């Protein structure tokens, strides 16, 4: 009896998938691409039922809302070694915004590092961030890793952030 309890079936059912990765590309008078992923807690992706965050009655920044999103990105070579980049976006749906400026130094033609700072928020949240970054250019692929401190302006204790960006030219 004890021996049969220790024997595992030869053809056990595999665990249901919980992770999904997706990517896409679109082109019009501009071109953009995206990549993302998700994870289903509980019984997995194939189980019946909705896959949405729980409703928070105290948070007005959730649900479906249509709005306009504006985005600007710029880059300026100050010299052959120094550069400045700035990104900013604003969305009308929840009055969300994001900005990030970087000042970088090219150590070598394919390696640079620098400092970054920015602001982000929406109709319920405002935060700042500041830190450093390292950028490596490998042929048509650019990898940027950054990290530092971020926090809500109204809270006293900041937290950390890390970011990894992969950019591919075509």
Q: Can you give the residue ranges of every domain in the chain?
A: 2-52+68-168
Low-confidence ranges of the chain (pLDDT < 70): 1-15, 22, 25-34, 36, 45, 49-52, 54-56, 153-155, 170
pTM comes to 0.67
What percent of the residues of the chain are helix, what percent strand, and what percent coil, each to the nearest 5? 5, 60, 40
Return d(Cα 106, Cα 19) in angstroms, integer: 38
> Over the stretch 78-127, which tens digit does the pLDDT of each residue have?
999 999 999 999 989 899 999 999 999 999 999 999 999 999 999 988 88
Return d(Cα 67, Cα 85) in angstroms, integer: 27
């Amino acid at each position: 009896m004890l021996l049969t309890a220790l024997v595992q079936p030869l053809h056990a059912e595999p665990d249901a998938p919980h992770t999904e990765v997706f990517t896409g590309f679109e082109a019009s008078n501009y071109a953009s691409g995206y990549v993302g992923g998700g994870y289903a807690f509980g019984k997995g992706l194939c189980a019946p039922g909705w896959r949405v965050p729980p409703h928070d009655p105290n948070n007005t920044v959730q649900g479906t809302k249509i709005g306009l999103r504006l985005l600007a990105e710029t880059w300026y070579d100050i010299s052959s070694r120094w550069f400045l980049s700035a990104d900013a976006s604003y969305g009308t749906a929840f009055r969300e915004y994001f900005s990030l400026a970087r000042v970088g130094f090219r150590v070598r033609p394919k390696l640079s590092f620098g400092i970054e700072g920015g602001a982000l928020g929406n109709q319920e949240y405002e935060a700042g961030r500041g830190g450093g970054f390292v950028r490596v250019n490998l042929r048509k692929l650019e990898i940027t890793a950054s990290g530092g401190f971020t926090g809500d302006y109204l809270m006293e204790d900041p937290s950390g952030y890390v970011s990894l960006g992969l950019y591919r030219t075509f």
